[in-house]
Amino acid sequence: MTKIGLEIHCQLTKLESKLFCSCKANYREFEPNHNICPVCMGLPGSLPRLNQKAVESATSIAMALNCTTPEKIAFFRKNYFYPDLPKNFQITQLNVYGDMSVGGEGYVDVEGKKIKIRRIQLEEDPGRLIYEGASERTKITLVDYNRAGTPLVEIVTDPDFENPRQVRVFLNILSDLLENLGVAEPGLEGAMRADGNVSIEGGNKVEIKNIGSFHDLEKALHFELTRQQSLSERDIEIAMETRHWDDRRKITISSRSKEEDQDYRYFLENDIPWVKINQETRNVLKEKMPESIGSKRERYVEKYDIAPQVADILSSDKYYSKLFENAHDESNAKDIANLITTDLLGFIDTKEKQQNSKITSQHLSDLVDAMNSKVITRNSAKVALQEIIKSGKNTKDVLQEMDLGQVSDSSEIDMIISQIFEEEKQAVIDAKERPETVNFLVGKVMQKTKGKADPVKTLELIKSKLDQ
């Protein structure tokens, strides 16, 4: 049995300042080591001051992920010694005296499966290591502390994922949710990072780090599962360790043994008092939250009679949801929803493809109108979609340029049917004996007309010709 859990780190990029000082949260606009102060550098005598907006943003995330939110939260010192951590400890959270992190147990629905959230904690991001040098001999490591102290939420899931694809879908949902809340910009470089914890039945847990994108994470998980299964088949013990993803070689490589909580020597951070988050604050945050994925799904099903599985896709992905909301009206909502989930989804199924796509809501609305008015067939609409995604051209122009207009003239279709009957004599005999095979002949006509023939009229004409 495969078990995959995630540790997701997401920067609260919409905040003005860092978590414990007044330095800019948007460190990307600065030259290396120009967005620092005594607090984020951990100089003796400097004292942290908690960013209230960061606590509110993190609480909003917890509420949106159906997590419990405690009345009081506390911060701890997590001790570890890396060059990118100037204080030699990270200020973070720990549920050692009960629920003390900003978010407790929650869940996210992913294609009908409930993925449980174990906890959400608010913490500071460390600095950034930069590697330079063309070879091992000349390689040097530089440290940029501009990022140190940037507000960060860590979202930890239970090992509920059964395969890497589920992970990818979950991260897309989470990314859309964070963006929709207005607390983060997941698309920014380094703004949202995920580590995977992987194990197979009978094996130890392995953590995978240093993953640059959701796409890389999916590949890293595939590789790691294959590696562990290979070891298991040879009766070789799977070591509990941390491994890094080598993007150049597309493999995971051993980094160090996996630390446990006690290895970090957590201490309560006495320079930051306990923070009370009262019910009034939570109510205000709840009122400001946009429509939830669950609520949106219910609205699509109840108001537009959209199938639940279709509503799941539309509501959980901001990109498709926005296209749908701007394209539909009361009369064509179901048709727009089906076009998105049946055809469009197959062409732009990744974040990268979505970003590069030139299709708009107006394109979808025009295509559905053309299908409903019998100007084009469903097959022709699918062909047009591919061109529109690439070019962004006006729908009418694409239909004309590609000659995708529907063939609905009975005499023209009848002539093509006669040709098919000559070419497929055995199929004609079969269709007369077994009417359920008639779709083969319909398919041949559609093939001959490049999908432009009216399928309803085609079927009627074929049945009439078979009865003669």
The per-residue DSSP string of 146-193 comes to GGTT-EEEEEEE-S-B-SHHHHHHHHHHHHHHHHHHTS--TTSTTSEE
DSSP classification of residue 80: -
Residue 272 pLDDT > 90: yes
* Token code pair at residue 212: 């640059």
Query: CA triplet 144, 179, 149: central angle to 5 degrees?
Result: 25
What distance lies between CA 339 and its chain's CA centroid? Answer: 21
Domains in the chain, ordered, with CATH? 3-284 (no CATH), 291-401 (no CATH), 410-467 (1.10.10)
Residue 425 confidence (pLDDT): 75
The conformational region for residue 282 under phi > 0 = left, psi -120 to 50 = alpha, else beta, is alpha
- The whole-angstrom separation of Cα 120 and Cα 122 is 7
The pLDDT assigned to 408 comes to 58
pLDDT for position 409: 58
Tens-place pLDDT, residues 213-270: 888 899 999 999 999 999 999 999 999 999 989 888 889 998 866 566 667 889 999 9
pLDDT band, residue 21 (cuts 50/70/90): very high
Least confident of 91-95, 287-291, 428-432: 428-432
Chain position carrying tokens 């089906």: 338
- Using an 8 Å Cβ cutoff, are 151 and 122 in contact? yes
Name 209's bridge partners. 244
pLDDT (average), residues 427-452 = 74
Asked if residues 446 and 457 have their Cβ atoms less than 8 Å apart, the reply is: no
Task: At 143, list the tokens.
Answer: 């440290």
Tens-digit pLDDT profile for residues 345-393: 989 888 788 888 999 999 999 999 888 877 777 888 888 899 999 999 9
- Residue partners of 461: CB distance under 8 A and separation at least 6: 410, 413, 414, 417
Mean pLDDT of 67-91: 92
User: What is the rounded CA–CA span in Å between residue 46 and residue 21?
Assistant: 10
Spatial contact of 314 and 324, defined as CB atoms under 8 Å apart: yes
Q: 379-402 burial by CB neighbour count: b if 16+ within 10 A, else e? A: bbbbbbbbbbbeeeeebeebbeee
State residue 275's pLDDT score: 94
Pairs from 291-296 (Cβ < 8 Å, separation ≥ 24): 292/64, 293/109, 293/173, 293/177, 294/109, 296/321
